[in-house]
A and B are shown apart, each in its own frame.
Chain A
Amino acid sequence: MSDTAIKFENISKQYRLGTIGTGTLSHDLNRWWTINVRGKEDPYLKVGQVNDREAKSTSDYVWALQDIDLEVKQGEVLGIIGNNGAGKSTLLKILSRVTNPSTGRILAHGRIASLLEVGTGFHPELTGRENIYMNGSIMGMSKTEITSKFDEIVEFAGVEKYIDTPVKRYSSGMTVRLGFAIAAHMEPEILVVDEVLAVGDAEFQKRAIGKMQDVSNYQGRTVLFVSHNMGAIEQLCSRAISLDKGKINLSGTTNDVINHYLKNNSIVEGKIIDSLKIHNHQITIESITINQSPNNIIVINPHENRLTVNIKGYLSEGKKMSLEIRFYDQLEHLQMLFSPGHLYENIKFFEKGQFEISETIVLPDSLTKNEFKLTIDVTRPNIEKLFSFRNSVKLICKGIQGYSGLEFPASNCGLLMLR
């Protein structure tokens, strides 16, 4: 036997875009009747939508992955990075057999356990306990095996108190913790983890990464890990690939791939709101501004040191919410954190309906000349992420100046000039 754990051969995946029908027979019949018999317009076209069948037919299909050739060695931890829509999740879904490749094939050894999305394969009506058994046997374990791992799983996920509660009552953070704990303790030969860990709190992410390290180092198992957190990739992965528009554009040591990716992925000018990712369906976001501007490039001049973040939206259920803003440097290292929810005790409760979060950050007035990438999360501190704007804002700090207008770049002076 070779020591190759997984072999992707010429894998491509094509998706068909647009709805093929309206989803119900009565609508389709009605549409057919209106268009073909009465000669009227399509009654199910949305207002303002153009009926451009010709234009559509050329772009009806999209290649989510193209000609992926990749070998992963046993015991290797492979990091996968790439922009949104690059095809990372599709690759993991094909490997997990949730969807089929359009061409090519994958050869693999052993059992695969995967955590693709929040709540991976849970039955909402069943309790945590029942779901552990259900999920375990889906991953190919026998009942006795699951029973022997049960306590460890519950402890790792920290859900002791809720183990007999239906999982539909779990927060998204708890659901992810449980999903990860099951997948990681099932001793699969191959562990596949998509971005979901980002939903858990920082403490859990750290433990999860530790667990994945154990799994690969001490048990010789193979891990495929997708993340936007370059720190985590750097810490965990021995090798990485970067995907771009469905193709592997670089494969090599983790550092090389990360540096290459970061160099080619500075934030392009746009609106902050376009980087919105919602983790909780009871929330809709209407607007976000920083210093009254919806744009994602913000300049802080010398002597200015305030950042006012304002988020408006709608809640379908009252919630405690708090803002967490992370400042990353060019190399994606975390430099500063703003999190009033962690610093002070009282976290504000927002009633059901229209809400507005507004916080003003006072930056130290001795910051050096620097450029930051901001990730803005709204969370229930230590419980779950509700929504986030990831890598959403480029903050250009002109920085403190010397008596003659001398500038102090961060690359020479560090984060702050001390007094």
Chain B
Amino acid sequence: MSDINKEWDFIIEPKGSMFNLNLKEVWHYKDLLEMYIKRDIVTFYKQTLLGPLWFFIQPFFTTIVFMFVFGGLAGIPTDGIPQPLFYLSGICLWNYFSESLIKTSDTFYTNQAVFGKVYFPRLIVPLSVTISGLLKMLIQLFLFAGVYIYFLSKGASIEINRYAFLFPVLIFILAGLGLGFGIIISSMTTKYRDLKFLVAFAIQLWMYFTPVIYPLSVMEGNYKKYMWLIQANPLTAVLETFKYGFLGRGSFSWFALGYSVIFTFFILLLGTWIFNRVERSFMDVV
């Protein structure tokens, strides 16, 4: 087998390895990946009237609405963190996850014209969505940083600590879960197109099971019975750790974070397996 591999540049066979993401091949196509990322970002702000400013407007106004509805009307406490900081951090992280998931979830369907005519590692497309979303989130975190400095100068009791160094791990979990769930669902939407709406709805609900608009401590105090549900949610640890590291409030546990990381690996593995299967048969059934 090995000498055949040496002699031929490539071999086309009915089935390849099922758990292989073929990252080497993706690397070979890095120029294409870069173009897809650029396209994602450029088309995003080309479509809006306000251009790149739109990156900030969305989290800004969502924060204001959250302050009014959840902070004001509903009176949900924010662990002593200034409301804008509390909501803004939640919104940036949550939006990254949910947008990655929703956008990758119809990869096959929206790209069928291209997939049917040329070969390149299909993973490039969901990967580019995940990376361009990450860039967007990092840009939005500048807004967070600005607001952060403002409250710091006003003497708010927030402090950054060494747990902030876990930020790359948090990014890995968010990106991994968004990508993993996204490609799993994208494989299912090849059969059922309307699943997309169900997914959008499910994500909306999911947010309420994640400490985005409330801190974990409130849940623990009032609804102890349902805590297991929130704790089973792999995103809980991400939001709590972020707030703990950058704002010094909330809770942190290595156990919860470890659980999220393992969960992420599992979803990525499962996603890869399903994606590889569908990638091979999808073009025959459209």
Contact = CB atoms under 8 A, between A and B. Distances in A.
Interface of A: 1-2, 15-16, 20-21, 23-26, 28, 94-111, 114, 116-117, 119-126, 130, 133-135, 137-140, 142-143
A389 B44 CA distance: 43
25 contacts: A16-B284, A16-B285, A20-B191, A23-B191, A24-B192, A24-B193, A26-B194, A99-B283, A101-B13, A105-B14, A107-B4, A107-B8, A107-B10, A108-B11, A109-B8, A117-B117, A119-B113, A123-B114, A130-B35, A134-B32, A135-B118, A137-B29, A139-B118, A142-B31, A143-B31
B44 to A, nearest CB: 12
Interface of B: 4, 7-15, 28-29, 31-32, 35, 39, 43, 113-120, 191-195, 198, 280-281, 283-285
Given A99-B283, A133-B35, A134-B35, A25 B13 contact: no
B123 to A, nearest CB: 14
A120 B115 CA distance: 10
Max count, chain A CB within 10 A of own CB: residue among B12, B32, B194: B12
Contacts of B15: 100
Nearest to B7: A1
A108 B10 contact: yes
A405 to B, nearest CB: 58
A135 B31 CA distance: 11
A103 B283 CA distance: 17
A138 B111 CA distance: 14
B194 A25 contact: yes
A101 B31 contact: no
Contacts of A108: 8-12
Contacts of A1: 7
A101 B281 CA distance: 10
B43 A109 contact: no
A99 to B, nearest CB: 5
Contacts of B284: 15-16, 99
A111 to B, nearest CB: 8
Contacts of B285: 16, 20
Given A23-B193, A98-B116, A138-B29, 4 more contacts: A16-B284, A101-B14, A130-B35, A137-B35
